[in-house]
Amino acid sequence: MRSRGVVARVPAKVNLQLSVGPLGSDGYHEVTTVFQAISLFDDVSVATAPNGNGLSLDISGQTSNGVPADNSNLAIRAAELMIKNYDLPIDLEIKLKKEIPVAGGMAGGSADAAGVIVGLDSLFELGLSRDEMESVGSKIGSDVPFSICGGVAIGSGRGDQITPALAKGNYFWVLALSGQGLATPSVYQECDRLREGLSIATPQVSEPLMQALRAGDAKALGKSLTNDLQSAACSLRPALRLVLDVGEFRFRHCVVAST
């Protein structure tokens, strides 16, 4: 065991494609998505704590406001699942230094959960494979397995079945961050409302987008971006439409490195 604890740096993600199938009988949608990790990170620290202290969570950083510090936080849920599955000590200290925006569709909570899983694997030298860690992550949230995988990958099923994708080139993304986020369930509900009465096809991976990634063609990639939840998000937050008011948004430039 690494007595001094470990730190995992976990990236935010963007969805280059997010295709959403019809609502299933289980209350979920089948999706096909193409994830790309970007150079905007949370730092997740995990360390052992004195006996009797239990599981604690400390949150700091410029996007920490509004992040829950109770057991609804995905980092806590990840720790509890790892403790249960691998008989780990319950006295653990988790620290999150937040840089990923909250409720912005960039997998901030999922990234923190992934950081805890990877961190505990390293701290206690469990020797888990990536597939094993992704399996644990899928029980916490659909985006957690990709946050463990990183890079560029295709997500299927609920987005938690991950296949690494071939890609090359560097991409510069401009992120327009609203001061108010959107809850994922609300966006899906609005998507279903807007689609009511329509026939929705099973989602498929966009071949033009994959060709652009393989070629490292930023212009072609930009023309191939799709997100079936965009209309729903804009319906819930009209200010998210293409006309951006600088008074409403702050801008951050991120470099995305694909290999």
pLDDT digits (tens, 9 = 90+) for 109-146: 999 999 999 999 999 999 999 999 999 999 999 999 99
Q: Which tokens sit at 42?
A: 């949370």
DSSP letter, residue 118: H
With 50 as the cut, is the pLDDT of residue 181 above it? yes
Least confident range of 12-26, 164-178, 235-249? 235-249
Q: Is residue 244 classed as helix, strand or coil in its secondary structure?
A: coil
> Pick the catalytic residue: 13, 95, 97, 98?
13
> Pick the catalytic residue: 42, 112, 121, 143?
143
Q: Which tokens sit at 199?
A: 């026939």
In this predicted structure, what is the pLDDT of residue 2? 57
Type of residue at 79: A
Alpha helices in 17-138 (DSSP H): 74-86, 108-123, 130-138
Q: Which domains are delineated in the chain?
A: 6-258 (3.30.230.10)
With 80 as the cut, is the pLDDT of residue 247 above it? no
* CA atoms 157, 163, 167, 173: torsion sign: positive
Give residue 242's pLDDT band: very low, low, confident or very high (50, 70, 90): very low
> Is the pLDDT higher at 250 or at 190?
190
In this predicted structure, what is the pLDDT of residue 255? 41
In this predicted structure, what is the pLDDT of residue 1? 61
CA distances from 233 to 115, 139, 170, 181, 212 (A): 28, 26, 28, 10, 26
Mean pLDDT calculated for residue range 209-220:
95
pLDDT digits (tens, 9 = 90+) for 74-116: 999 999 999 999 999 999 999 999 999 887 889 999 999 999 9
8 Å CB contact between 141 and 74: yes
In this predicted structure, what is the pLDDT of residue 192? 93
With 70 as the cut, is the pLDDT of residue 193 above it? yes
131 is catalytic: no
13 is catalytic: yes
